[in-house]
Amino acid sequence: MKKNNVADKELILLKIKKLMSEANIDATEDQFDKLATLVILLCKWNNALNLTAIRDPNDMVVLHILDSAVLSPLIKYKGNNIADVGTGAGFPGLVLAILNPEIQFTLIDSIAKKLSFVRTAMVSLNLKNVHIINDRCENIEIENKFDCIVSRAFAPLCKIVEWCKNLISDNGIFIAMKANLDEKEISEIPSNAQLVENIELHVPTLDAKRQAVIIKLQNS
């Protein structure tokens, strides 16, 4: 069993390296290793806790690791204090934290069992730049507000702004990852927020649309 696990990790590692190269995302050998270990951990925990509907580790590489990693270039120079709201089992937050060790990440979710996996991953991967909040966004009160709030398949844009408006700094931005964004959802963005940019993302081997919607609150 141990040999099989090692072999599986080696295959996962090779796939991550190949796809990250195709996506033009740089990483160190240690970061690649941590990403592969994260897939192994997710496979093990998923059997017990049903963290994700994705069961195949090869699919996890594309739909969790790469689908999160493509946000990494967008958060560069967006601040040192970033939140991932509705993180679930830690995506994109854990992947972004591995790739950006100089940035502090706070992973927020209301479902405790998913955050128990995140906590285990933090320890196993020795991630010193990750914190957890187990609560609903709209219930959280903080003094040190976030420079950037990211989300992935979390909620409509209007809800993200409404629920998280008290968590973001005056000059902070929202980066919401979307699969399908229609004009109705854009039109419902609150008047106190502005759609700054809509960036199309390339996730290698994924035959589905991905885009990052950049939103900024209007200065009152």
Instruction: List, for residues 137-152, the tens digit of each pLDDT value.
Output: 999 999 999 999 999 9
Mean pLDDT of the region 56-63 = 93
DSSP state of 156: -
pTM assigned to the model: 0.94
| pLDDT, position 49 | 80
Say which residues have a Cβ less than 8 Å from residue 184's Cβ, sequence separation at least 6: none
Radius of gyration for the alpha carbons in the chain, expressed in angstroms and rounded: 17
| Percent share of the chain, pLDDT over 90 | 85
Question: 160: helix, coil or strand?
Answer: helix
Task: Give me the helix-helix angle, 2-22 and 29-49, nearest 10°.
Answer: 120
| pLDDT, position 153 | 86
Six token digits for residue 1: 């069993």
- Residues β-bridged to residue 213: 176, 198
Instruction: List, for residues 73-101, the tens digit of each pLDDT value.
Output: 999 889 999 999 999 999 999 999 999 99
Which CATH number do you get for residue 49? 3.40.50.150
Of 96, 104, 197, whose CA–CA distance to 152 is shortest? 96
Domain that holds residue 18: 2-217
For residue 3, pLDDT over 70 is answered with: no
Split at pLDDT 50, 70, 90, the class of 214 is: very high
Task: Give me the helix-helix angle, 29-49 and 112-124, nearest 10°.
Answer: 150
Q: How many residues does the chain have?
A: 220
Question: What is the tally of structural domains in the chain?
Answer: 1
Split at pLDDT 50, 70, 90, the class of 2 is: very low
| pLDDT, position 51 | 86
